Amino acid sequence: MEDTYRKKIDWVNIVLMVVLIAYSLFLVVLMLWGVATSLKSREEFYDNALWFPRGNIGSWAWGNYSFVWKNFAVETFDSLGRKISIDIYGQFLNTLLYAIGGAFLTTLCCCIVAYLSAKFKYWFSSIVYTIVLITMVVPTIGTTPAMLKFLKLTNLYDSWLGAYLMKFSFLSLYFLIFHGIFKGISPEYSEAATIDGANEYQIFFRINLPLVTTTFYTVFLIQFIGYWNDYMTALLYLPTHPTLAYGVYYMSISNMNRLAQTPMRMVACVILALPITCVFVIFRNKVMGNVTMGGIKE
């Protein structure tokens, strides 16, 4: 009986492993195709769309990268109706401001609200926890027009303050992660600090927050990667502050002469993906590691 059960489990694991390996190879092939396409001329792309560029490495179209770097810009209009152009340096700066600031505020909000809900046994704590569960189950569709109207009425539209306020939210899975961790922290930490005269702010920032530092960094990195690739926020709420992801989207739908060619668009995609790939490689252990922590055992 046990041998039969083990064989079934083994076959399930084998099938899952084969599927995951096939999926991973598919993604790797797509990334290699994108890099190879970015190193082709327009003529070679139409003649050789699937394989690597012909000739030696030195003869590949490395000039595509310098051309895109110098000429890639997003054209938009400011609040006065004047036409402005944001080059790739401005897009990089906007991306860093949006990704770092948004990821930090989202992580901080989830952490603080989860701590309050987990450590303070009030009726409102249960309501907050229930609201998070409901918003995760029920899809929030049709909120974009209301958000646009609200930002324009409060003069927060197309501003970093408005974008940051939108990201200061706790309605996500990471609230549940922080909530579970804070629930698992022994109350002896807080009790000992209270005996020593610490107030609630000191207990949170000096006792409990350092205990979840690893989780905080992990959630921040995951959020940072997501915001780096987010173009919808810049498209809808920050029209004069285009990010690099929005710039790639802008290039994909526009006809900017040579920049409209497929190899040039692949160059923009590689430029967008390269920094975040380096971040993932450097911090992969934190991003892919288990969310664990220690504490006093009762």
Q: What is the pLDDT of residues 222-275, one digit of tens each?
A: 899 999 999 999 999 998 999 999 999 988 887 767 778 888 889 999 999 888
289 vs 291: which has the higher pLDDT: 289
Query: Of 106, 170, 182, 108, which is closest to residue 135 (Cα–Cα)?
Result: 170
Percent composition of the chain: helix, strand, coil (DSSP 3-state, to 5) = 70, 5, 25
- 111 and 133 both lie in a single domain: yes
- 62 and 79 both lie in a single domain: no
Residue 223 lies in a domain: yes
Q: Are 254 and 247 in contact (CB under 8 A)?
A: no
Per the listing, tokens 């690739």 go with 229
pLDDT for the residue 63: 86
Question: DSSP class of residue 260?
Answer: G
pLDDT band at 4 (very low <50, low <70, confident <90, very high): low
pLDDT band at 119 (very low <50, low <70, confident <90, very high): confident
How many domains in the chain?
2
pLDDT at 122 over 70: yes
Mean pLDDT of the region 139-165: 87
Looking at 66, 84, 99, which one is the last position of a domain? 66
Q: Is 85 helix (H, G, I), strand (E, B) or coil?
A: strand
pLDDT for the residue 276: 86
pLDDT band at 3 (very low <50, low <70, confident <90, very high): low
- 18 and 45 both lie in a single domain: yes
Q: Are 248 and 275 in contact (CB under 8 A)?
A: no
Residue 293 lies in a domain: no
- 16 and 113 both lie in a single domain: no
Mean pLDDT of the chain: 84
**pLDDT above 90: percentage of residues in the chain:** 23
User: Can you say whether the dihedral through the CA atoms of 260, 262, 264, 270 is positive or negative?
Assistant: positive
- 26 and 159 both lie in a single domain: no
Q: Are 242 and 234 in contact (CB under 8 A)?
A: yes
pLDDT at 297 over 50: no
Q: Which range marks the domain in which residue 252 is found?
A: 75-288
Residue 296 lies in a domain: no
Min mean pLDDT across 31-45, 99-113, 135-149 is at 135-149
Structure tokens at 156: 């927060």
- 254 and 107 both lie in a single domain: yes
pLDDT for the residue 237: 92
Q: Model pTM?
A: 0.83
Residue 22 lies in a domain: yes
Residue 34 lies in a domain: yes
Which residues are CB-neighbours of 95 under 8 A, at least 6 positions away? 228, 243, 244, 245
pLDDT digits (tens, 9 = 90+) for 40-60: 888 888 887 788 888 777 778
Per the listing, tokens 């402005």 go with 84
Residue 295 lies in a domain: no
Q: Are 109 and 169 in contact (CB under 8 A)?
A: yes
Q: What burial class does residue 286 get, using C-beta atoms within 10 Å of its C-beta: 0-12 exposed, 13-18 middle, 19+ buried?
A: middle
pLDDT digits (tens, 9 = 90+) for 68-94: 898 888 888 877 778 888 889 999 999
Residue 294 lies in a domain: no
pLDDT at 22 over 60: yes
pLDDT at 182 over 70: yes
Q: Are 286 and 218 in contact (CB under 8 A)?
A: yes
Q: Give the Cβ contact number of residue 251 at 10 Å.
A: 21
* Four-point Cα dihedral 246, 170, 154, 234, nearest 10: 0
pLDDT for the residue 85: 87
pLDDT at 5 over 60: no
Which runs of E-coded beta strand occur in the chain?
73-77, 83-87
Residue 298 lies in a domain: no
